Amino acid sequence: MLSVIIPTYNEEGNIGTLLERLHPQLERGDEMVVVDSYSSDRTAEIAKSSGARVVLEPKRGNGLARTAGAEAARNEIIVFVDADCVPSRDFLARIRKHFTSKDVVAVGGLDLYSSDSGARKFIYDAFSRTVFYTAKLTHMLTGRYWLASNNSAYRKDVFLSVGGFRSVICEDTDLTRRLPPSRHVVYDSRLEVSLSDRRFRKEGFLGTIGLWGKSNLAAWTGKGVDSSGYKTEY
């Protein structure tokens, strides 16, 4: 059984679409957990009406919101997605299939982007594919695994054994540093989510990549960049 965890803050324009896509993929015992940081819009109301369980969490950063969801999860397998994503129609089925092996500790998928510009989408997707396959190669060589925090699934006990995500930018890199290496991790390029390009539109593509680069380096050295104030939404 799966617990899908979604951090939100003022996501009334996105959360309904995501939950509508996820709901038909649920099986008995699965749950959708929306961790809402006291949104001032209708996010929590829409989430409840769409069948999600809402957990309220102070706005302390995306990482801590995800971890609060993991702690509240009722199932052994926890799945992380963002409110502005649209997952593939077989998203949960693919995750479920990978975890039929009791050895698998985590699964990671591929982020793609939606955009009103075909050229920008090409650039965003090329960047994302490069990150995905670089992480996969690194895992093959070292056993260290980096999985995108908005498209990944973990066994709950493994995730919480190191305290889960923390309140830093690039919380997924920070988690990689703290988790022990494991060969029992699956990288599935067909496990896709389509994200909005709002991250790049807000600060610009190069500005965003520069921030992520600096934050990844800080996270890897144990000096993570605090995420308070990073983006107005999750």
Q: What is the structure's pLDDT at 218?
A: 82
Under 8 Å between Cβ of 31 and 75? yes
May I ask the CATH architecture of the domain 2-220? Alpha-Beta Complex (3.90)
Residue with tokens 């950063």: 61
Q: Where are the domains of the chain?
A: 2-220
Say if residue 231's pLDDT is above 70. no
Taking residues 51-68, report their average pLDDT: 94
- What letter represents residue 232's amino acid? T
Least confident stretch, 85-89, 114-118, 227-231: 227-231
Question: Could you report the per-residue pLDDT of 124-140, keeping only the tens digit for each?
Answer: 999 999 999 999 999 99
CA 182 – CA 162 distance, rounded (Å)? 14
Taking the C-alpha atoms of residue 146 and residue 139, their distance in angstroms, rounded to an integer, is 8
- Find out whether 9 and 67 touch, Cβ atoms under 8 Å: no
What's the one-letter identity of residue 54?
A: V
Q: What is the pLDDT of residues 209-222, one digit of tens each?
A: 888 888 888 888 87
**Residue 153 pLDDT:** 98
Say if residue 122's pLDDT is above 60.
yes
